[in-house]
Amino acid sequence: MARRSKKCRLCSEKIDYVDYKDVALLHSFINEHGKIVPRRITGSCARHQRLITKAIKRARNIALLPFSK
């Protein structure tokens, strides 16, 4: 069974900068326990995964997102 390759959602929407205040976007990249979902699951490219991780960690520090349980 051949798997379809996942495309980076941020590349297809032409998003250059991931803002830490955009909680709605960042919620789709964390699971129900508050952990950051890896790129093999989300399908995001390496550049955008680094930006997502940095934005999630910044949002956690100012209490916009929960820390992992």
Per-residue confidence (pLDDT) for residue 18, from 0 to 100: 95
Residues 55, 17: contact at Cβ < 8 Å?
A: no
CA distance 59 to 34: 12
Q: What does the H/E/C string look like for 8-29?
A: CHHHHCCCCCCCCCCHHHHHCC
Residue by residue, pLDDT tens for the chain (69 residues) are 767 778 899 999 999 999 999 999 999 999 999 999 999 999 999 999 999 999 999 999 999 999 976
The predicted model scores a pTM of 0.89
Domains identified in the chain and CATH numbers:
9-61 (4.10.640.10)
